[in-house]
Amino acid sequence: MIRVWDSGMTANRHVAVLMGGWSSEREVSLSSGNACANGLETAGYQVTRVDVDRSIAQVLDNLRPDVAFNALHGPFGEDGTIQGVLEILNIPYTHSGVLASALAMDKAKAKQIVKAAGIPVTEHILADRADVAKAHIMPPPYVIKPLSEGSSLGVLIVPEGQASPPQSLLGDAWTFTGPVMVERYIPGRELTCAVMGAPGEEVALEVTEIVPVSSRFYDYESKYVEGGSKHVLPAEILPFVYQNIRTLSLEAHRAIGCRGVSRSDFRFDENGTGDVVWLEVNTQPGMTPTSLVPELAELAGYDFPALLSWMVEDASCGR
């Protein structure tokens, strides 16, 4: 059961909302951060907006907030790095801790862990992008992803029948470092479910189906452009499939060691195998006006300020 926040707790509590940063998801983070800062002010907190740069440790040491609300996205903000800085400074923070953040950001390691917990995952291969661009590393259709990015940045879908891999992997526009993940393409419906709660008391919220409006998949524009996707909440799927996704989301959250709020993404091959396959977990779900978690929380009875307040009161070190 999720404990309801007490509005009396907000009095005189100072929250630093960390946003921006220097990852490729900077603009998304600024949108999330400003939305969260506004919501926390509505809830009665004293809020400082912090556009994060490499002086962040000194900035926070001078500021000494009661809580750091982490609205960063991408490398440094989601991968355990900023979490380590906050641990050193002994400033309580929201979302997952160092280890869970690092594991979830590495898509291959996250899949290894949840697979060991009995959660179905997609077949994948890790390879250098130059090798992936030379010849099909697995028969199409397949998906190419940067190993440690979010917001669907860099994701390429290679359809069945395509003669050769995408050569954009070798171009200057590809700014992502490290190996890429080549993953078996799973046809069907895109579904997502959030988990919320203190350790041992986590609950899976409802399930949303994501229907991109002008794209083949839930890409960057579908996520963040107004009208880019349709969110069907609750998802119109068979009850046993619905409950299975909620169960798997909770199991993935716990297997990786997530804290606060997380969101797991799935593909449901409704017209083929009938399988539900786990794709990844988001330890820093978006909080923009078009984001999924605020909608899921609202259906569970948490308006936006209440959701943010719960996250602030759940904040701690040693997560």
pLDDT in tens, 175-189: 787 889 999 999 999
**Which pLDDT score is estimated for 6?**
57
Catalytic residues: 25, 151, 224, 263, 265, 280, 282, 286
Of the candidates 69, 73, 65, which has an alpha carbon nearest to the alpha carbon of residue 31? 73
For 191-206, the pLDDT digits (tens) are 999 999 999 999 999 9
Cα–Cα distance for residue pair 199/220, rounded to 1 Å: 31
What residues contact 236, with CB distance under 8 A and at least 6 apart?
209
Instruction: Give mean pLDDT, residues 232-249.
Output: 97
Provide the terminal-to-terminal Cα distance of the chain, rounded to the nearest Å.
Answer: 19
Q: Does 198 share its domain with 277?
A: yes
- Residue 13: phi and psi, rounded to 5, are -85, 130
Greater pLDDT, 218 or 250:
250
Greater pLDDT, 11 or 119:
119
**Which pLDDT score is estimated for 291?**
85
**Which pLDDT score is estimated for 174?**
77
Name the average pLDDT for the chain: 89
Q: Does 74 share its domain with 27?
A: yes
**Which pLDDT score is estimated for 9?**
60
| pLDDT at residue 148 is higher than 90 | no
Cα–Cα distance for residue pair 125/53, rounded to 1 Å: 34
Torsion of CA 212, 214, 219, 223, to 10 degrees: -60
Q: Does 191 share its domain with 221?
A: yes
Of the candidates 52, 55, 61, 57, which has an alpha carbon nearest to the alpha carbon of residue 23? 52
- The answer to whether position 319 is within a domain reads no
The answer to whether 303 and 7 are in contact (CB under 8 A) is: no
The answer to whether 166 and 214 are in contact (CB under 8 A) is: no
Instruction: Give mean pLDDT, residues 256-281.
Output: 94
Q: Does 197 share its domain with 79?
A: no
Identify the domain containing residue 58 by its residue range: 7-95
The answer to whether 71 and 82 are in contact (CB under 8 A) is: no
Largest CA distance in the chain: 63
Of the candidates 100, 110, 271, which has an alpha carbon nearest to the alpha carbon of residue 183? 110
* Backbone CA torsion sign across 198, 200, 201, 206: positive
- Residue 101 amino acid letter: S
Would you report the helix, strand and coil content of the chain in percent, each value rounded to 5? 35, 25, 40
CATH number at residue 240: 3.30.470.20
- The number of distinct structural domains making up the chain is 3
* Mean pLDDT comparison of 123-132, 155-164, 247-256, 287-296, highest-scoring range: 247-256
| pLDDT at residue 153 is higher than 80 | no
Greater pLDDT, 25 or 52:
52
Of the candidates 38, 6, 70, which has an alpha carbon nearest to the alpha carbon of residue 310? 6
Q: What is the pTM of this model?
A: 0.89
Indicate the length of the chain as a whole number: 319
Q: Hunting for tokens 């490398």 — which residue is that?
A: 75
The answer to whether 35 and 17 are in contact (CB under 8 A) is: no
Q: How confident is the model at residue 125 (pLDDT cuts 50, 70, 90)?
A: very high
The rounded percent of the chain whose pLDDT value lies above 90 is: 72
Instruction: Give mean pLDDT, residues 127-138.
Output: 91
CATH number at residue 71: 3.40.50.20
- The answer to whether position 311 is within a domain reads no
**Which pLDDT score is estimated for 216?**
62
Q: Does 22 share its domain with 113?
A: no
**Which pLDDT score is estimated for 225?**
52
